[in-house]
A and B are shown apart, each in its own frame.
Chain A
Amino acid sequence: MRLFFSGLRKLARRPATWVTVGLLIGLLVLIIVAVGSGVNGRSLRNGGASGADPKLLVTFPGAYDRILQFITGLGGLFALIYGAAIAGSEWSWGTLKWAVARGESRVRYMLISYVTVAVMIAFGILLTFAAGVLAAIVGAHLANVSTSGLGDSATLRDLPQRLLKGWFAVVEEGALGFTIATLARSQLAGIGVGIAFYFGEGFASIFLPDIVKYLPFSVANASLVTGSSTAGVFAGGTSALPADQAQVLVVVWLVGALVLAALFSDRAEIAG
C-alpha cells in the first residue's frame, strides 16, 4: 500500500495530471457553451433522430450520452498520452532505477504505477463529466432549451454502469500508452508512438475495417455503444464488434498490455 499511496501522491502533484484533465474539461466546456450560444432558438433537425445535431449536446437526457462520448473519445487519446508520460518518465528521469536499487520489485512497481494511473483516470473522468453536465446546463439556458430531462430516472439509473464502462475503455487506452513508453523506455518516444498508433488505427479502419475492429482503440469505442448511443470515429464503423464482444477484447488488450509492460520491465537492463 505504501507504493500505491506514494504513486497517488506523485500523480496528484504532477503538473501533467492537471494539464491533461484541465485541457479535456476546457475543450468540452468550450464546445458545449459554443453550441449553446450557436443554436439559440433553433429546433432540432428531424427531431434529433439523426443523432448528429449539435443541439443534442445541450438537450437532456441525451446530453449525458454526448458528454460521455466526448470523454471516452478524446479522453482516450489523452489517457494514452498520460499513460505514456507516466511510464516514460520513470525511465527518462531514472526514478525506476532508484526503486530497483532499493530492492523494490520491478513488476510490482510498474503495475502499481499503472493502478494509480487508472485511479487518476477515474478521478479525471468524474471531474470532466461533472464539468460537462454543468456546462450543458449553462448551454441549455443559452440555447433556450429545457433542462427537464436532467433528472430522467432511466438515464440516471444507467449512468454509473456507463461511466464504469467508459472508465474501463479509457484505462485500456491509457495502458497502451503506458506499455508503449515502457518498451521505448522514453517519455517522448512513448507519447509519439502512442499518438501514431491511435491515428494510424483510425485511418486503417477506412481500408481494413474487418481487422481494425479487433484493435485496441476500436474495441474501446465499440464497447461503449448502447442502444441510444453511436460508435465513435474509431469504433470500426459498420464493422464494429457488438459491445459485449468488444468489452471482452478490452479486457484482453488491457491485461495483455500490462503483462507486456511488466515482463519487459522485469527483463530490461536499466542504465543511464
Chain B
Amino acid sequence: MSGTDGLALATRGLRKRYGSRRALDGLDLSVPTGVVYGFLGPNGAGKTTTMRVLTGLIHADGGTVEVLGRPFRRGDRHRLFEVGALVESPTFYPYLSGRANLRELAASGAHVSSKRIDELLELVGLSDRAKDKVQDYSMGMKQRLGIGAALLSDPKLLLLDEPANGLDPAGIVAMRDTLRALAAQGKTVVVSSHLLGEVQVMADTVGIIAAGKLVREGPLRELLSMQRVVKVRVRPNLVDAAIKALASFAPAERLTETDRDEGWLAVRAEADCAEEVNQLLAGAGIFASGLESGSDLEMLFLELTGGQAVSGEGTFVGLDAANGSATVGKGTAA
C-alpha cells in the first residue's frame, strides 16, 4: 500500500454494504504510530463497522487494510495478536468471575501470563471484585473489565469503541490518563467516541467520518486552529437582536445558535475576535453576560458532518419547550 509508512493503521478504499445500505464507502484512514487517534462520526456513520472490519469480525467488500505496517487480509488473523480491541459493549461469561473471564479469554489468541491478568485487574481497579461473578458487575465495571481484556496481550495497537460508556467521571479521567500513557510508550490507541469533549482532551489526531467516508483527518491542534470560535451569551430574548447586530461582522453561515434558551451564540472567525464581537454587541445596546474564545471540536464536527442524521439511522429529536413540537437539535445555523 503506498503512502502508509510510519502508520500503525491504514485503510484504503474500504467498502462495506449491508443489503442496500452503504456502511463504508471508500474509507481512507491513516493512523500514525504512537498517538491517541479520535475516531469520530455521527450515529450510523460507519465507526463500529470500521472497528468490526479491523478486528476481523466482519469482512469488507472492497479496499485494503494495513495493520502495524503489514497487510491485514482475510486469514491474516495472527496480525491481531498485536492488537487489542473493545468493540461495542463488552460481554463476558456471566457465571464466571472477572478474573476467570480474563483467564479464559487469554486462552485464545496470543499467549498471556497470569501475572499480566493480575496487573490488568489492578490497573482497571477491579482487584477487589476480581472473584465476583460478572453477572453481579455494574455496567461501568464490565466496561473496565473490557478495557482490561483489550489490554491482555500488551498490544501495540489498541482499538476502543466508546470506551467511556458507563464509566464514572473518575473512571473516565483514569482511562484517559492510561491511554495517554500507552501512547507515550509508543503504542497507538484508536478511540471511537461520541464524547467530543473527551476526544478533544485526549486525542492527538482525529478522523471524522460521515456516511462511510472520511471527511477530515489530521492533528487535532491543526484542525482546531482552523476552527476558531467566539461564544457569546446574551439574554435569550435578545438573541435575534444580537444576530442582527453581528450580521455585518459574521454572515449567517458563520453564526450559530448553540443554545437559544440559554442565549448562547457562536461566531466562527479566522482569528481571535472576542473583543470585536463584544464591541458590536455593546454598540447595539446588548451586553454579553458570557464570552468565551477558543477552539471547539463540536463546532468542527457539526460543520463537517452537517449535523444531519445518516439516512436510515435517524437522530435524536428534541422537544421544543416553548410549543411542545418536535425540533431537530439546536445546533443549526441561524
User: Residues of A with Cβ closer than 8 Å to B?
Assistant: 2-3, 5-6, 9-10, 13-15, 89, 93-95, 97-105, 109, 269-272
Contact = CB atoms under 8 A, between A and B. Distances in A.
Interface residues of B, number: 33
Given A5-B107, A102-B110, A94 B57 contact: no
B91 to A, nearest CB: 3
Contact of A2 (B81, B93, B107): B107
B193 interface: no
Given A10-B96, A98-B105, A103 B91 contact: no
A102 B91 CA distance: 14
A103 B79 contact: yes
B96 A101 contact: no
A270 B57 contact: yes
Contact of A104 (B59, B88, B96, B109): B109
18 contacts: A6-B103, A10-B93, A10-B96, A15-B95, A93-B93, A97-B87, A98-B149, A100-B77, A101-B85, A102-B80, A102-B105, A102-B153, A103-B56, A103-B79, A103-B80, A103-B108, A105-B77, A270-B52
B104 interface: yes
B137 interface: no
Contact of A102 (B52, B95, B108): B108
B55 A101 contact: yes
Interface of B: 52, 55-59, 77-81, 83, 85, 87-88, 91-96, 100, 103-105, 107-111, 149, 152-153
A266 to B, nearest CB: 10
Given A2-B108, A97-B57, A271-B58, 16 more contacts: A5-B107, A6-B103, A6-B108, A9-B104, A10-B96, A10-B104, A13-B96, A94-B88, A97-B91, A100-B56, A101-B83, A102-B152, A103-B81, A103-B109, A104-B109, A269-B57
B150 to A, nearest CB: 9
A271 B52 contact: yes
A6 B88 CA distance: 24
Contacts of B57: 97, 100-101, 269-271
A12 to B, nearest CB: 11
Given A5-B107, A102-B153, A103-B81, A95 B58 contact: no
A229 to B, nearest CB: 38
A89 B91 CA distance: 11
A103 B110 contact: yes
A198 B100 CA distance: 35
Contacts of B107: 2-3, 5-6
A159 to B, nearest CB: 35
Contact of A93 (B87, B91, B108, B149): B91
B81 A269 contact: no
B91 A94 contact: yes
Contacts of A102: 80-81, 85, 105, 108-110, 152-153
Nearest to B159: A101
A270 B109 CA distance: 17
Contact of B108 (A5, A14, A94, A104): A104
Contacts of B87: 97, 101
